[in-house]
Structure 1
Amino acid sequence: MSEQPRTRAGRFVDEPLPELCDWVAHPEVPSPAGGTVIACCGALAASLAELIARVARNRLERKGQTGSEIVEIEQLLSEAGALRVKLLEYGEGDVYAAAKIIQGDLAACVRKDVGSPAKIAGTTVKLLRLLDGLGPKVPKSVHSDLRVVTFLAHAAVFGICEIAEANIVLAGGADDLLQERIDRWRMEANDYRDRVLAQT
């Protein structure tokens, strides 16, 4: 049974979720795969962080708070939103970077790699950093959501680091600088995960 051809007008990451999942499920080039899936999971985690911040802000406003606590939550809300946008952008970029690697038009790994996997990893670590210290500042009713964000972001960092390491191997190995960055991202992700979980 032949499958119907699929068409798309804009970015992969702007597709409705069922259609994006369908694109991921097929091996066309270009098409989203591991890096894009990880970036989208990171973006969803950032969205959940925004929800947590809005719940906390609404609670403070109901209590008549107008000072530094509100300002801090508003800043967190803004930063989480910016990270969400960046992760979707990097997830889209990963589609075409991966296509170039597959087609032999781009090295899988370059020294001081600033390609899509590195951008996704660094941005997701920033999301974890943003969560540190948030537990005591938000209602306990959203602590489970905060833990979900933490676990999703932690998994995303480890997932994208697997891709970055595979790229090192594909390129022939021996990119010590990138390997140091990968090791640091993993260590930071573990540290932030543990800190946030201890606060909830």
Structure 2
Amino acid sequence: MTEQPRIRHGRFVEEPLPHLCDWVAHPDVPSPAGGTVTACCAALAASLTELIARVAHNRLVKKVAATEGATSSHAAELQEVDRILAEANALRVKLLEYGEGDVYAAARIIQGDLAACVRKDVGSPAKIAGTTVKLLRLLDGLGGRVPKALHSDLRVVTYLSHAAVYAICEIAEANIRMAGGADDALQQRIDRWRLEATDYRDRVLTQT
């Protein structure tokens, strides 16, 4: 099967989605794979969180206009929704950055230029996991601040983020096994990420 050569002009995560999918589908080195795919899924979940927060923001603004003035309660609620919006945006940017970084870290591991796992690992999988847990933490309490029409989207974000944490933890554990299972500190962090992700998932789901 003859294929046209793929040409990339910038970061993998800045490729149009069909092109990114095509890069993932090929075993080139460097090329995005499990870590980048997980980070991109988590970034999309962060984007959906931004959407939810923006709709909630617009609803609050209309409510204030309809009542001819903002109460202190309205102001506090609007401030909190805007905080969630800003943090979700920052997490999205970080997740894409870490997803891009994972391409090159994985390439160095494959080429033997980087240890698969180091003590107190702060590589891309760990950054993706920790950042996605922060996204789940951000969702806690959001159900009571947004219209019920958005609860299904909030549940989608929750399930996607929870799955992303578990997916990236699988990669981190694979790195530990590849390194001979020496990194007890990272294993403890992985266990904590899984527990926190499940706890936040359950909390958010009960709110929707």
How does the TM-score come out when normalised to structure 2?
A: 0.95
| RMSD, matched Cα | 0.6
Query: Equivalent residue for 1:3?
Result: 3
Q: Distance in 1 between matches of 2:202 and 2:105?
A: 33
Q: Where does 1:92-103 land on structure 2 (aligned, <5 Å)?
A: 92-103=100-111
The one-letter code matched in structure 1 to 2:3 is E
Which residue number corresponds to residue 68 of structure 1?
A: 76
Aligned position for 2:67: none
Q: What is the match of residue 120 of structure 1?
A: 128
Distance of 2:38 and 2:175 partners within structure 1: 16
Tell me what 1:15 maps to.
15
* CA distance in structure 2 between the partners assigned to 1:175 and 1:87 by the alignment: 24
Distance 2:204 2:93 in 1: 23
Return the index of the structure with the highest Cα Rg: 2
Say whether residues 1:146 and 2:173 are aligned partners. Answer: no
SS where residue 165 of structure 1 aligns? helix
Question: 1:179: which partner in 2?
Answer: 187
Q: Report how far residue 129 of structure 1 moved.
A: 0.1
Structure 2 unaligned residues grouped into runs of 5+: 65-69
Shift of 1:174: 2.3
Indicate yes or no: 2:160 matched with 1:133: no
The range that moved more, 43-52 or 166-175, is 166-175
2:203 aligns with 195
CA distance in 2, matches of 1:16, 1:174: 39
Q: Secondary structure at the match of 2:180?
A: coil
Determine what percentage of the aligned residue pairs are the same residue: 80
Matches of 1:139 and 1:60, distance apart in 2: 10
Amino acid at match of 1:2: T
Give, in whole Å, the separation in 2 of the partners of 1:67 and 1:137. Answer: 13
Matches of 2:182 and 2:8, distance apart in 1: 39
Cα separation, 2, equivalents of 1:7 and 1:16: 12
TM-score, normalised via structure 1 length: 0.99
For residues 130-164 of structure 1, give each alpha carbon's deviation from its aligned partner in whole angstroms, at most 9, with x where no partner exists: 00001011000000000000000000000000000
**Structure 2 letter corresponding to 1:100:** R
Aligned pair partner of 2:94 in 75, 81, 86: 86
Q: How far did residue 117 of structure 1 move?
A: 0.1
1:180-199 superposed Cα distances (whole Å, 9 cap, x missing partner): 00000000000000000000
Question: After the TM superposition, which parts of structure 1 deviate over 4 Å for at least 4 consecutive aligned residues?
Answer: none
AA at the equivalent of 2:120: K
Q: CA deviation at 1:2?
A: 1.3
Please tell me whether residue 34 in structure 1 is matched to residue 42 in structure 2.
no
Q: Secondary structure at the match of 1:97?
A: helix
